[in-house]
Chains A and B, each alone.
Chain A
Amino acid sequence: MSTAKKQLPRVIPCLLLKGHGLTKSVQFKDFKYVGDAVNACRIFNEKEVDELMFLDIDASRENKKPRIEFIKEIAGELFMPLGYGGGVTSMHEADQLFAGGVEKISINTAAYTNPSLITDIANHYGSQSAIVTVDVRKPLIGGYKLYSNGGQVPQKVALLDHLRRMEDAGAGEFVINSIDQDGKMNGFDLRLIQTVSEAVSVPVVALGGAGNKQHILDACQAGASAVAAGSMFVFHGKHRAVLITYPGRRELKELFGIA
């Protein structure tokens, strides 16, 4: 029996919901309409993506509630692990999302004020379902800074202190999103990925900056267990024409040197 000795990392399209459409930002601004969310999901489903992650930017930026019915409609047609983030502040909302077929819930803004929400989710649904996402900016001077509410509100707590606290609260995974690299497609902030990966023991998902397959490999070599990307999977060419793509498993195996 031949067995793969290495595990392929999870490669996760991360899609930004705005209304019933998808949008994509550069450095958390300059939003460009990508297409209809339900339709895009169907395509990603057919491409058999490892996981899919939705972030509702209306909810996170404008303190709106998660649109449970809309998420359920999307989840009903998706047969891979689906992550959702945006405006989740209560266990009641989490329960409804899980019942609708969401597998993981990402908590970002609420994590700063209500870490017990993460504990509750981890206790009821397993820590693999409790993701904490952080939006990180690197100022010209000084260390990494955290932002909540869709990158709008600076947080005082230091990056690694926050993550360790979240790990203690029960977080089973971290999505580390670089605001500086968002939409740039010129690679991840590898130092950020490495710093975080070395400090925490749960899986780290790199987000922000992926433009090609090499970037996926780079992030994993820096310590990421999984890689998420938006632009890379929805834009094509230098004029950023909308085209949904996803690397094949064979391609990824080749990239990672897995026979």
Chain B
Amino acid sequence: MVTIVNYGLGNLGSIVNMLKKIGVPNILTSDPADVVAAERLILPGVGHFDKGMSLLHERGLMDALNEAVVRRGVPVMGICLGMQLLLEGSEEGSLPGLGWIKGWVRRFPNMQDEDGKPLKIPHMGWTDTYPVAGKRLFARWDEDETRFYFVHSYHAVCDDPADVAATAHYGIDFTAAVEHGHISGCQFHPEKSHRYGMKLLTHVYRQETAA
């Protein structure tokens, strides 16, 4: 059973749809008790970093998440803003993040493409993504070309390069996914990334079932 943490930010319908499609039982909850008792967690979310952290505090989910993930070692996967919240903080706001992954979330600098045109921020669209070998998220990954759907203005910068699970390029090389032990996250949206996303989520949840 995968517990999707609904703290009131972003669109969760497509995550539920994809998990249903790949046959992974899931519940969508905002109840801290469900989070404490979870077997596996997804921390989704879209929007402003501080708004995400404030909502986690207001809804009593901070303690529940720490209890589950830090004390009990429940595997968690952050998606988009949910991934950014795993880090220590963000240039977007002033509140501390969950701090489970060492590093900071930075805004894309002003950048230009090869023709000298300014690159629009947010970075929105399908981008080739390069998994890092040996990471659980991409175990037995057999795609020649991997691409995912991204929508973001900020990206994670990990203190420890070993926590980077995938990279992509938009003006600069940036971290597309993070992983530290049982804590992982992706900046892109696997739930909106066709077979690539489906494969990623299938792998993650099959492995954890087997483990």
Residues of A within 8 A of B (CB): 1, 3-10, 45, 48, 50, 75-77, 79-82, 98-103, 124-126, 128-129, 172-173, 201-203, 225-226, 249
Contacts and interface: CB of A to CB of B under 8 A. Distances in A.
Given A48-B195, A79-B197, 9 more contacts: A6-B113, A9-B125, A79-B18, A79-B198, A98-B11, A100-B13, A128-B46, A225-B124, A226-B124
Interface in B147-179: 147, 149, 151, 167-170, 173
Closest 7 A/B residue pairs (Cβ): A3-B169, A101-B13, A126-B46, A98-B11, A101-B14, A128-B151, A101-B17
Contact of A3 (B18, B113, B130, B194): B130
Contacts of B47: 125-126
B114 A5 contact: yes
A50 B126 contact: yes
B194 A48 contact: yes
Contacts of B128: 3-4
B120 interface: yes
A7 B12 contact: no
Contacts of B12: 99
Nearest to A1: B130
A103 B114 contact: no
Contacts of A102: 11, 13
B126 A8 contact: yes
A125 B46 contact: yes
Given A102-B13, A128-B124, A1 B167 contact: yes
B25 interface: no
A129 to B, nearest CB: 7
A114 to B, nearest CB: 21
Contacts of A77: 21
B169 A75 contact: no
